[in-house]
Amino acid sequence: MFSELTLFDRATPTVDPAFAALTRVHLDDRSWVDVVPDWLQGADTVAEELTDRLPWRQRRDVPMYDSFVDEPRLSSWWRAADGVGEPLRVLAEIRRLLSDRYRVRFDSIGFNLYRDGEDSVAWHGDRHRRHVVDPVVAIVSVGQARTLRLRPRVAAGPRRSQTWRLGHGHLFVMGGACQHEWEHCVPKSSAGVGPRISITFRHGAR
Ligand SMILES: O=C(O)CCC(=O)C(=O)O
């Protein structure tokens, strides 16, 4: 599936432990995002190995009138509580570095496979905000870049969204009140885009 990706990023996967290229963007006085372009080197290797190794599942949880339809992407999950190591060694390193930096114990990894531009996720805030106050959600993206949008959940005037392009090893971290007061989405793309995997680290897994 990832065979059409660029060949230049097939290096052994590694990340910058110093987060040297990190930029923090304050969405407002309670919510922020951290962005590190190209944080993960060897992103194409990670994309290929995850595609081959993970048990990808089709979730049916998009409400539509009085029934549920397939989510337009495939997913897979890893939980520390299951006692099995991360599917790739670099993910253990990433989990440790993120936990140290953000001072929370990231204990689950959700993997989302957007096969092409038809795959997407609608506007939402992560559900675990219901039992974790101000959760930090970290996303490492591999494969083709896709647009991620953020907009305030409630706004007095027009709700202006902010946009990032995430793929090829980018790290994107949402924190503060972001899951409570902002929502995010990955819209469909008509640009003939190839596959992307978002690797999402969360804490307070249930
Ligand atoms: O794919 C992404 O970058 C976003 C994933 C996401 O929002 C989610 O799974 O809740």
> What CATH number has the domain bearing residue 144?
2.60.120.590
Residue with tokens 């897994």: 205
* 126 CB within 6 A, ligand 1: yes
* 148 CB within 6 A, ligand 1: yes
CA distances from 154 to 28, 88, 108, 159, 161 (A): 13, 39, 29, 8, 12
Q: Tally the domains of the chain.
A: 1
> Rounded to two decimals, what is the model's pTM?
0.92
Q: What is the pLDDT of residues 95-145, one digit of tens each?
A: 999 999 999 999 999 999 999 999 999 999 887 777 788 899 999 999 999
Kindly give the distance from the C-alpha atom of residue 185 to the centroid of ligand 1, in angstroms, as a whole number: 7
Domain extent for 178: 20-203
Domain contains 10: no
Query: Per-residue pLDDT averaged across 65-77, rounded?
Result: 85
* 198 CB within 6 A, ligand 1: yes
